[in-house]
Amino acid sequence: MASITLESSRRGVFTTFPEEAAGSGFVVRADGYIVTNNHVVQGAEQIQVHLPNGGSYDAVVIGADDIRDIAVLKINTTGLEAAKFANGGTRVGDWVITMGNALDLKGAPTVTLGIVSGLGRTIQTEQFPGYYYDLIQTDAAINSGNSGGPMVNLNGEVVGINQATLRQAQGISFAISASTAQPIIDSLIEFGRVIRPRIGFDGDDVTPTRVARFRLSVDQGVIVTRIASDGPAFAAGIRIGNIVTMIDGIPTPDMATFLSLLWSYQVGDTIQIEYVRGDEFLIADVELGERGS
């Protein structure tokens, strides 16, 4: 586990004020690569990483992904002990431990114990991109400063990255699953960014409330809420209000499933989208573009 301290500037009416913040992270490679949340380091002008051995190092961001809220830092040292990721999947009811620099309290990191209380969760956030998908839900406490720290199983293997709490919730916190995070971390280290296909629309889940309110003809799928006129989906004939139900014959009952499936394709692939417009079921071939970094 690593503690992270940050400095940035806030512009006032007459002058600029320094601001300090704190977060958490953990070592993923022995030669100085540290993982944390993107929202922890976003906008920071100076970043320092503090390791359990007492060493403090200046850090630079070598890559960040705002979609999954992951950032990779680099510090100038070697011979570190890297965290081990769990091989198996996480199940509801598994015991987990969260570690982090909670509330920036002095002394050793805060450690909390809980269970995995849900998988595949979607939460709304005030930050871009507006939603985080496919999260682990836990009752282990995650507080300000814990963000970016590891969630581990009872064998000490990383199963997730502490990410968020909801103000209106009591005893519920969320983490990015290790299976989701690992390929992103590898891409950020190798390329400095994550290369994802672009379909060119934003969507939201079909819910029972929306089915009743708008008299929808399907009870599962992704409603197109915003679409780019220069994007692949628009060129294929998809419009706002249409409901996407399948990609290449695989059902997409919600946005989390849709995005996980979409991001399994490569830029330039052509996929078949099944969607609904009113009471009409339609099919479109969509050639995927490249999402901007």
Task: Confirm whether 88 is domain-assigned.
Answer: no
Residues of the chain with pLDDT under 70: 12-17, 127-129, 167-169, 293
Q: Is there a catalytic annotation at residue 50?
A: no
**156, 172, 191 — which closes off a domain?**
191
Task: Confirm whether 239 is domain-assigned.
Answer: yes
pLDDT, residue 143, reads: 83
On whether both 99 and 187 belong to a single domain, the answer is yes
Which residue in this structure is represented by tokens 């009113």? 278
pTM of the model: 0.82
Cα–Cα nearest to 138, from 93, 88, 89: 93
Task: Confirm whether 109 is domain-assigned.
Answer: yes
pLDDT, residue 69, reads: 93
Which residue in this structure is represented by tokens 């091989």? 87
Domain limits for position 53: 2-75
Q: Is there a catalytic annotation at residue 69?
A: yes
pLDDT, residue 207, reads: 92
pLDDT, residue 133, reads: 82
- Please count the other Cβ atoms lying within 10 Å of the Cβ belonging to residue 187: 18
Catalytic member of 69, 94, 134, 254: 69
Catalytic member of 3, 24, 39, 187: 39
**171, 191, 211 — which closes off a domain?**
191
pLDDT, residue 131, reads: 78
